Amino acid sequence: MPEASLLVVDDEPNIRELLSASLRFVGFRVTSAANGADALAAVAEERPDLVVLDVMLPDISGFAVVRRLREEAGSGSGADHLPVLFLTAKDGVDDKIGGLTAGGDDYVTKPFSLEELIARIRAILRRTGGPTGEGRLIAGDLELDPVGHQVLRGGRPVSLSPTEFKLLAYLMTHADRVVSKMQILEHVWAYDFGGDLSIVESYISYVRRKVDSGADGAVKLIHTVRGIGYVLRRPQG
């Protein structure tokens, strides 16, 4: 039985075929697409567990593909839960933030080693592949259902990417306790190798924007403890 079902999207035939063959060799089921339109169609038809997505595509960018998938989440496609690993030749901070903001779960720059790519794919699947806890988590008017993969703030749904959901669940599980960036990186990203702590800062910002800034008049729950890490504080009373 395949380890997971992957969709590989890259407009360069050599890279697409090499990736597909290598991922099949280590136990994944793989389908592929050469452009953004075909990728969207393949997601709808194949329902993959994860997408390996090149940013620079001939029709629409990989970022635009992911935004389309997230926008269609309300149609019942399940695309809001679909993990995405971006591939790109650009390694600037702005490019990384752009990919993560678009709804990606990780970012690998070309050229890359197949071993690292496979490790990152498996790390994403581990952190997005199942419920993060047995029961509903509650902090004030914030609720997280790990089984239904749903977040509510003040009764209103909050749309989160798989990694954002995992991060919020970790903070809520450790509510009122300060957790360091390294603890978050190890438990949320589950890397088997060194990771960049700046990714934690970026994702905290995204989750805070959706959970705190998006809740008009609501108590701010996610706080920075300077020099140490972050804490989700439950409202008193």
| Domain 5-128 class, CATH top level | alpha beta
3-state secondary structure of 187: helix
Q: Confidence class of residue 75 from pLDDT cuts 50, 70 and 90?
A: very low
162 preceded by a cis bond (ω within 30 of 0): no
What's the predicted TM-score (pTM) here?
0.61
Which CATH architecture best describes the domain 137-232? Orthogonal Bundle (1.10)
Mean pLDDT of 60-69: 90
**Boundaries of every domain in the chain:** 5-128, 137-232
Predicted confidence (pLDDT) at residue 63 exceeds the cutoff of 50: yes
Q: Describe the strand order of the beta sheet including 137-139 as a list of residue ranges.
A: 137-139, 142-145, 150-153, 156-157
Predicted confidence (pLDDT) at residue 128 exceeds the cutoff of 60: yes
Same fold, 5-128 and 137-232: no
Mean pLDDT of 166-181: 91
